[in-house]
Copies of this chain bind each other. A is one copy, B any other.
Amino acid sequence: MVRQEAQREQTASMEDYLETIANLGEGRKVVRVKQISEMLGVKMPSVTSALKKLSEQELVEHERYGHIKLTPEGDKVARDVIRRHKALTRFFAQALGIDHETAEEDACKIEHVISPLSMERLAKFVEFIGACPLGRTNFPSRYEYYLEHGELPQDCSNRSVKKRK
């Protein structure tokens, strides 16, 4: 319950800017203030202002009216945000069966606040159910049945565990 700001390196906002710049810059594409502003749903002056802060921290290279580019350090931070984002999206979509849009929205929020430990475990969970056929057949199918019918499938009781031959 205690809210003792865990001294994150970056705020959620700044992480969003870095993430967006990395995504827009994929494949050496030129990144523009306008694009960033549209992607994040903010006005251009907000972007300019964020770029100024990120430049001061040497996470972004940016000169007036000029190019926008992540520094190696900025890229490192961005990659990490993107890694969390992807793992969370996979979790919501693949493990919980959430529609992709909602999965994305939740990932966007949670990526900024989740602890490294939970993040790691969550990623492993997704890996696990993807990799383990037993996980896949026993978990998702019965889980989906449960979601749909609100009660456990027939073979899901203490008795059936033993009885099965």
Please name all residues of chain B whose beta carbon is closer than 8 Å to the beta carbon of A16 when the two chains form the complex: 1, 3
B residues near A133, Cβ cutoff 8 Å: 156-158, 161
A106 at the interface (CB under 8 A from B): yes
The answer to whether residues A2 and B41 also contact, given A125-B143, A137-B161 and a CB cut-off of 8 A, is yes
Count of this chain's copies in the oligomeric assembly: 2
Of A105, A124, A156, the most chain B CB neighbours within 10 A belong to A105
Verify if A122 is at the interface (C-beta below 8 Å from B).
yes
Let me know if B105 and A115 touch, CB within 8 A: yes
Contact A98 B113 (CB under 8 A): no
Given A134-B156, A135-B138, answer yes or no on A113-B113 (Cβ-Cβ < 8 Å).
yes
Cβ B118 vs Cβ A132 within 8 A: no
Which residues from B are CB-within-8-Å of A97?
Answer: 121
List, in ascending order, chain B residues with CB within 8 A of A137's CB: 161
Contact (Cβ within 8 A) A134 B125: no
Q: Which chain B residues lie closer than 8 Å to A19 at the CB level?
A: 1
Interface string of A127-165 (1 = CB under 8 A from B): 110011111011100110011000011011110110000
Enumerate chain B residues within 8 angstroms of A3, measured Cβ to Cβ: 16, 40-42, 108
| Other contacts beyond A134-B138, A134-B161: 12, CB < 8 A | A1-B40, A92-B121, A96-B125, A97-B121, A102-B115, A106-B114, A128-B146, A131-B156, A132-B142, A132-B153, A134-B156, A134-B160
